[in-house]
Amino acid sequence: MTTHAYEPAGVEIHARNVAFDWSHTPLHWIAGEPVASDMTCILHLILPEGERWFCEVFTEALPYVKDEDLARTMRGFIGQEAMHAVSHDKAVTEFLEARGIDTAPALRQFEYFFRRLLAPRTQRFARTRYNDMVQRLWLIAAIEHYTAIFGDFVLNSAWDDYEVDPTMADICRWHGAEEIEHRSVAHDVANYFHRSYLHRCRAMAVTLVYLMFVIHRAVRFMCAADPTVNYSYPRLWREYLRASRRNILPQLRQVVRYTLVYFKPSFDPASLGSTAQAVAYLAASPAARRAQT
């Protein structure tokens, strides 16, 4: 967990135009680390549908918000998540599919989950539909806890100590920095609608089950689709643990630690990561700077 002595206050959450050129990025973007490369690339498969779902739920919730400051922050959050979805969608077509990875089977599964299983309820009673929306807001808050963990990791990983593709490193760090920047938003929104420790814990329990299933499926899919990685399941785990010890992938004990922190009644999302570090990276991101020229 990274903290800085100085943390800027009142950071305005807003979307940033970015542009990524995938023409020179190899599939194994961390040299000599095919499994770590593939495991990172699952983000392009999982994230777009989830982020579009975030935007839909927040758009559904906005008319109920009377606090203009919170509403403005929600609109900034929606803008950032929409840009994340677009950028990872382009990575799917311009990077993964351009290198021979058939992404359609995995994308269909994630579309079904977010568009069907997590779609708004259609019951005629307004109160039932409202309560369902609140439950989905708490699910987003729980998921956003893990995107903040991801953001803190990529901003402090050891990638720069290895031969890595700068474009892939930049999309991960740009995305991760914005996750740190808006890490408190979903938590604040869920509490605005219904402050409940029970709701928070229940949403995290559901999220844990979902993430373990989805990440497992995505890793198996990505590694099976990569013709150069024909490893057994135990070897995939060994490769993951080896990479995590080198700070190329997140360490499981850190993920477990941050998960337990979420269950503390006094939990505050601002305790994870550094806004100052995130804002500094966003100001220097090659993709963001390229889009401004």
**Which whole number is the average pLDDT over 107-118?**
91
pLDDT mean over 206-226: 93
Residue 164, beta-bridge partner list: 30
Instruction: Output the pLDDT for position 3.
Output: 47
Q: What is the token pair recorded at 28?
A: 């194994």
Q: State residue 53's pLDDT score.
A: 97
Residue 291 has pLDDT above 70, yes or no: no
What's residue 245's pLDDT? 96
Which of 174 and 6 is assigned the larger pLDDT? Answer: 174
- Whether the per-residue pLDDT at 72 is higher than 60: the answer is yes
Per residue in 23-60, pLDDT (tens digit) is 999 999 999 999 999 999 999 999 999 999 999 999 99
- Residue 255: partners with Cβ closer than 8 Å, 6 or more residues away: 149
Q: Where are the domains of the chain?
A: 34-291
pLDDT above 90 (res 122): no
Task: Please tell me the predicted confidence (pLDDT) of residue 6.
Answer: 54
| Strand partners of residue 30 | 164
Q: Please state, rounded to an integer, the average pLDDT across all residues of the chain.
A: 93
Question: What is the percent of the chain with per-residue pLDDT over 70, rounded to a whole number?
Answer: 96
